[in-house]
A and B are shown apart, each in its own frame.
Chain A
Amino acid sequence: MDNSISKSITAAAAGMNVQSFRLRVASENLSNVDTHGYQRKMMTFAQEMDQINNVNRVAVDQVMLDQSAGEQIYDPSHPLADASGFVVSSNVDMMIELADAREAGRSYEANLSTFRQATQMYRSLIDLLRD
């Protein structure tokens, strides 16, 4: 019984970990929205087996760069301008990053609530022993 509760706790903690990493990636992208030549980072989720707790938990699969081209701005005076005077801006779309950050926050809260429920269930088991 306690083993199942620790499985819940492990799964929820892994979920929170992944969502906070996702939020970190989104905020890195957002803070570099005006960095010329910056390529947006993307991440994917995957499942991995936690051998110790025997639970299938979620993990960060890989972080990769978005290869789509950024907008070309004509600014010959810019230090990063090419021979024809164009500077490549970042390929970050603020709307996408904000939506991603919000979704990460929502999922994080759901995991946190599961974590709290599991600890509450564990506490009520301990209360049984106390009486």
Chain B
Amino acid sequence: MLKSTNIVNLTSSMASHAAQRHAVIAENIANSDTPNYKAKDLQPFADVYKAALQKGDDVTGVEFRTIESNMGDTTSPNGNSVSLEDQMMRSAQTQNDHAMALMVYKKSLSLMKMAIGKNL
């Protein structure tokens, strides 16, 4: 049984992380030919969640920091470090994370509705 609404907050935060990460990746892809552009990423959700748990905080409303992507070895002669294939892979992963977060959110709400006796 769900003890609290934590799971709803968690999934909503995860969906928010996926959407923010997608925005960072979209920026990388748009700048895939800009000289001296360095690929960026968002810090992994798992890290943020772990840090919040250790501090005893809720993950809701936590700011996700943008970090430099760990693809430093593919810098092209014009100083651009975006690998299109890698970014495509990351954006697909992000879309899946977003879909999964929304699905868990939906299912949690269904469980709650079931618990309060609403016919589904």
Contact = CB atoms under 8 A, between A and B. Distances in A.
A8 interface: yes
Chain B interface residue bracket vs A: 20 to 34
Contacts of A120: 95
B75 interface: no
Contacts of A103: 33
A46 B34 contact: yes
Contact of A107 (B12, B33, B105): B33
Given A106-B84, A121-B98, A125-B102, A4 B22 contact: yes
Interface string B89-100: 001101100110
B87 interface: yes
Given A4-B20, A110-B87, A124 B31 contact: no
B16 interface: yes
A124 B103 CA distance: 9
A12 B29 contact: yes
Q: Which 10 A-B pairs have the closest CB atoms?
A: A15-B30, A4-B19, A7-B23, A11-B26, A8-B26, A45-B34, A4-B20, A58-B30, A8-B23, A11-B27
Interface of B: 12, 15-16, 18-20, 22-23, 25-27, 29-35, 37, 84, 87-88, 91-92, 94-95, 98-99, 102, 105-106
13 contacts: A1-B19, A5-B22, A5-B23, A8-B22, A15-B31, A47-B31, A58-B30, A106-B84, A111-B29, A111-B30, A114-B22, A117-B94, A125-B102
